[in-house]
Amino acid sequence: HPGCTGGSHRYVDEKILTSSHFYSEPTCGPTYGCLSYDPEGIVGCFNAAFLSFLGFVTGKLVRAIPRSPSPSDHYAFLKISTFGGMVLLTAGAVLCNFSQNDGVVPVNKNLWSPSFIFVCGGGANLLFGIFFLLLDMKRSTLFSGSQSFSFSSNSKFTDPSFLSEEGESAPLWDGWPLREVGKNSITLYMGHEILDSCVPFAIYFSESSMDEHWGKILSNVIGVSCWVAVALVLNSKKIYITV
């Protein structure tokens, strides 16, 4: 509702932090016609903490799986990530009525709305399972039809006792280019903060196209691709900047 975005978030922050603490130009203003508010306020912090809690629960469930080469144990890992992801995504989709900006609780990152929390948590669970298949499971195992599961020797998610004794077969994916991006994550973050309005890291289309959701997505995809290219160049020159 115009002029009401923020709801309990804004009310609590206004009473405790006062309105001088708010952002005067929230990014969702053009969509919802909202007042100023703090996207990282007191209530929003609780929602962000809940997202972390969902990750904690997933981690505890994964660690509860016996560390053995039994296929049932490996299937259990995939079931947890897949089932958990689908449940959370469905909850988020129902709250936002399967829409971009509508529903009882729209998906809103600025407010850390419950639907946003569920969508992020569900997507993370599914990606966890996908990365498990791509990075940990051996290529020969995935395509051999064997009933025995083996894992690559450079397992990212499991401890050494989870690995079989069979060979050094490579996984489907070695993590490129995400691995190279991670090596210079702080550099990319600082570079983005400094050059976020400069071409080619930010492409501004005509005003009419930038009002469209897909125009903004395209702009961000181009920007991310450029920063990935920077990370690859830095890695090729063995340049790593950390804190």
**144 falls within a domain:** yes
**117 falls within a domain:** yes
| Residue where a domain terminates, one of 129, 162, 195 | 162
CA gap 115, 62 in Å, rounded: 24
Task: Assess whether 60 and 149 both reside in one domain.
Answer: yes
Task: Assess whether 45 and 110 both reside in one domain.
Answer: yes
Please name which of 40, 51, 37 lies closest in space to residue 7, comparing C-alpha atoms.
37
**7 falls within a domain:** no
Residue of 152 and 59 predicted with greater confidence: 59
* pLDDT on residue 185: 94
Please state which of the ranges 27-41, 74-88, 168-182 shows the lowest mean pLDDT: 27-41
Mean pLDDT of 139-159: 48
Query: How far from the centroid of its chain's Cα atoms is residue 150's Cα?
Result: 28
**98 falls within a domain:** yes
Task: Assess whether 139 and 204 both reside in one domain.
Answer: no
Please name which of 172, 175, 173, 182 lies closest in space to residue 228, comparing C-alpha atoms.
182
Please name which of 129, 141, 200, 128 lies closest in space to residue 170, comparing C-alpha atoms.
141
Task: Assess whether 114 and 77 both reside in one domain.
Answer: yes
Task: Assess whether 152 and 182 both reside in one domain.
Answer: no
| Residue where a domain terminates, one of 115, 135, 162 | 162
Task: Assess whether 47 and 158 both reside in one domain.
Answer: yes
Provide the domain limits for residue 61: 40-162
Please state which of the ranges 85-89, 102-106, 116-120, 234-238 shows the lowest mean pLDDT: 102-106
| Residue where a domain terminates, one of 116, 136, 162 | 162
Mean pLDDT of 28-45: 76
Domain count, the chain: 2
Task: Assess whether 44 and 135 both reside in one domain.
Answer: yes
3-state helix, strand, coil in the chain (%, to 5): 60, 0, 40
**31 falls within a domain:** no
Task: Assess whether 44 and 150 both reside in one domain.
Answer: yes
Strand partners, 151: 137
Measured between its terminal Cα atoms, the distance across the chain in Å is 43
Task: Assess whether 129 and 194 both reside in one domain.
Answer: no
* pLDDT on residue 118: 97
**147 falls within a domain:** yes
**119 falls within a domain:** yes
Task: Assess whether 119 and 190 both reside in one domain.
Answer: no
Task: Assess whether 54 and 143 both reside in one domain.
Answer: yes
Sign of torsion, CA 120 62 133 225? positive
Task: Assess whether 61 and 119 both reside in one domain.
Answer: yes
* pLDDT on residue 150: 47
